[in-house]
Amino acid sequence: MSWKDDQEWEKNWWGNCTNTYGEEQKQLLYASRMGLSTFHDGRSPYNLSVSGKVLDIGGGPVSMLLKAPNAKGKVVDPCDYPQWVRERYRVAGIEFEKMSGEDVSETGYDEVWIYNVLQHTKDPRKIIENAQNAGKIIRLFEWVNTKISKGHPHSFTAVQLDGWLNGKGKTEMLNGQSHCFGECYYGIFLGNAYGK
C-alpha cells in the first residue's frame, strides 16, 4: 500500500468523527501510562492534570488536549477531518494544523505527546527526532510487536524505541483494559530542550 492509501484508510476509519467514545476510552488508558492523572472539575472526572504548552503529534479529531483545560496546545495531524473538528479545536483554544509529524519544525513546548501514532506514519524515527527538538519532555504510548497491515505500515520493538528515544520505556500486555489488546510501550522521555 502507498502512503496515500494508508491515509485514506485512516480517514475512513474515523468516518465523520461523531462517535469517538471507544477511542477516547482508550486514550484514558494511554494518558495514565504516559504519567498523566485526571481530576474532576464538577462536570467531568476526565480532565487531565497538565499545564504549560503541549504539542500533540498525530492527535487526530479527538486529541487528549480537549481534556486538558489548563494547558495551551497545538495538534498536528495529516488526515482530512470534517470542518467541525477544526472548529471544535478553535472553540477549545487549541491550534490545529494539517501537517505530518515528519514536517514538524516547532520548538518551545513543555511537552510533546505521541500516542498510537507511529505505526501510521511514513518515517517514525523522524517524528521522534522532531518531537525531541520540539519539547522538554515526550510522553509516548505506542503498540509494539504488531503485524503490518492496511493503515499500519510499521511495527516496532521496545529496544528499537528505546534507542530512538534515548531512554528506557515500559512494556505491558493489555488484555481488554479499556478495550485495548496487545503489547504496548510507554514512558516519559527527555527532549533536547530539557532544562533550557
pLDDT tens readout for residues 137-165: 999 999 999 988 777 878 999 999 999 99
Distance CA 54, CA 77 (A): 14
Angle ∠(120,124,125) on CA atoms, nearest 5: 175
Q: How confident is the model at residue 166 (pLDDT cuts 50, 70, 90)?
A: very high
What architecture is the 3-190 domain classified under in CATH? 3-Layer(aba) Sandwich (3.40)
- Mean per-residue pLDDT for 51-77? 96
pLDDT at 114: 98
pTM score > 0.85 for this model?
Answer: yes
pLDDT at 194: 67
Q: Where are the domains of the chain?
A: 3-190
Residue 64: name the closest of 92, 105, 40 by CA. Answer: 92
| 192 or 33, greater pLDDT | 33
Distance CA 151, CA 161 (A): 20
pLDDT at 130: 97
Percentage of the chain exceeding pLDDT 70: 97
